[in-house]
Amino acid sequence: MDKIVILDFGSQYTQLIARRIREYQVYCEIWPYHLKECDLNSSDIKGIILSGSPYSVADPRAPQLEEMILKSNKPLLGICYGLHLLVKTLGGKVVQSQTREYGKALLTILEKRGIFEGFGNEMVCWMSHGDSVKEIPPQFQCIARTETCDYAAIVDDQRRIWGIQFHPEVSHTPLGKEILSNFIFNVCGCSSDWTAESIIKQQIQWLRNTAQKEKVICALSGGVDSVTAAVLTYRAIGDQLSCIFVNNGLMRKGEPEHVLRNMEALLGKGRVIAVDAKDRFLNELQGVVDPEQKRKIIGRVFIEVFEEEARNLGDATCLLQGTTYPDVIESISVCGPSVKIKSHHNVGGLPELMHLRVIEPLRFLFKDEVRQLALELGIPDEIVWRQPFPGPGLAVRIIGEVTENRLEILRDMDYIIYQELKNSPIFKKLWQSFGVLVPVRSVGIMGDERTYKYVGVLRAVMSEDGMTADWAKISYETLDIIARRVVNKVAGIGRMVFDITSKPPATIEWE
């Protein structure tokens, strides 16, 4: 299978480049720039992209271009910092600009070939840089410029090295996808063979080779990732797979029953072991208000419950996980250790504790690719398009202590929010939409009586991958209906507010 490799120098847009390339059904992997053991000479690698970076090439700490990259003789495309790195390494000159250039610019195309094949004379592009190319290396030619950037695109035809100052992967560069398409097809000669059908066929064979005759267990959450991993694995190894679904009492209204019905339809009766651990989780959370402590308790108790149930299965040796590509990418530090925003509840502690070998058939797929795979596997739309749901569930959507009463209030509020937004035109554009319970009481009037009830929050955001998010522009009419229904129907809620904070600076979840 043809492959494009992106060498990541720490850009916030690196994943977006990969997503754009995969939209053309060409397989693409992201590698940290410093992975010296990787074989760039492999015949399936058809081209290499050098990403942007938060660094300046003038910074003594800045990532450098490894010699093996140039020695691979593969077509190269340097984007922003990638361009600067190529220029500096190959004998050109890069200078720090007096002011950072950020925003839209009009690009004048001087040579309509290669990455600009089929283009007109001009196009809009998105700039985001503090350094600029002052002199290009020998054998390079300028092929595009802007009013303030003399070398907006350059090329060395003999070595098939291209460099661009702007970002083709962002939507603010309207023809950016066509530039990437020209690079992967015209320059690198890739074939479009990365399809849902081919992935299923490939992964079923991989699962059979990996699992052999061993028993595999899966921690099933009901989300699209774990369900897709389970269905795919069941197709590959059948009765060797057992799924365990733990009801922690922190799920949405009717969700445990819904998950079990769906899995029975997909895998058949008896394939999922359901564990009711609601009381155990709530007892452990009693009196706990710190969000980090809540997450850690939920993670620990989940592991304890799962381990107990798995022990009853006897000789399972493998753990199936619905790990996706963003999880893999974010687990590798590119430019130093990242700051921990919050602990994530997953089954990360299980393999070591139970001496299990991890199997991750989705580890090279983005969320949208997992959904395409799920559709191809016949998984119902309601699972495929289910919004991301935090591992700790509603516990991190209740500020402060988690109690059964507060959970019931939040479930009822959240269900009304879901019902009304599902009937709204904006629903399919939403990444996540949900309610948050703030245990601060607010005065109100219902009939002739004074009320003193909790505050409910509507949180709804739009995003491509959850890394950044903008608050959803829900119509006043829909907001009005949600607020009136919640206050009138949900016992305990006396006031509704709408969170209009984007990520960053806020996170999507409140805890």
- Enzyme catalytic residues: 80, 167, 169
**Please, which residues have CB within 8 angstroms of residue 283's CB and are 6 or more apart in sequence?**
none
The H or E element spanning position 458 is: strand 449-462
Cα–Cα distance measured from residue 452 to residue 308, given in angstroms and rounded to the nearest whole number? 44
Nearest to 318 by CA among 345, 346, 353, 355: 355
Contact 137, 92 (CB under 8 A): yes
Nearest to 127 by CA among 98, 153, 162: 153
Beta-bridge partners for 55: none
Nearest to 247 by CA among 12, 103, 407, 67: 407
Supply the DSSP symbol for 503.
B
The H or E element spanning position 418 is: helix 404-422
Cα–Cα distance measured from residue 371 to residue 223, given in angstroms and rounded to the nearest whole number? 11
Q: What is the 3 state secondary structure string of 240-296? A: HEEEEEEECCCCCCCHHHHHHHHHHHHHCCCCEEEEECHHHHHHHHCCCCCHHHHHH
Residue 116 vs residues 110, 119, 162, 457: alpha-carbon distances, Å: 9, 6, 11, 48
Cα–Cα distance measured from residue 324 to residue 303, given in angstroms and rounded to the nearest whole number? 21
Supply the DSSP symbol for 118.
T
Residue 284 vs residues 278, 295, 303, 346, 373: alpha-carbon distances, Å: 10, 11, 13, 18, 38
Q: Is the dihedral of CA 303, 304, 310, 314 positive or negative?
A: positive
Q: What is the per-residue DSSP string for 171-205? A: TTSTTHHHHHHIIIIIIT-------HHHHHHHHHH
* Residue with tokens 């006897």, as numbered in its chain: 314
Cα–Cα distance measured from residue 406 to residue 454, given in angstroms and rounded to the nearest whole number? 10
Q: What is the per-residue DSSP string for 156-169? A: ETTTTEEEESS-TT
What is the rounded (10 degree) CA torsion for 430, 431, 435, 439? -140
Cα–Cα distance measured from residue 153 to residue 380, given in angstroms and rounded to the nearest whole number? 46
**Cis amide bond preceding 388, omega within 30:** no
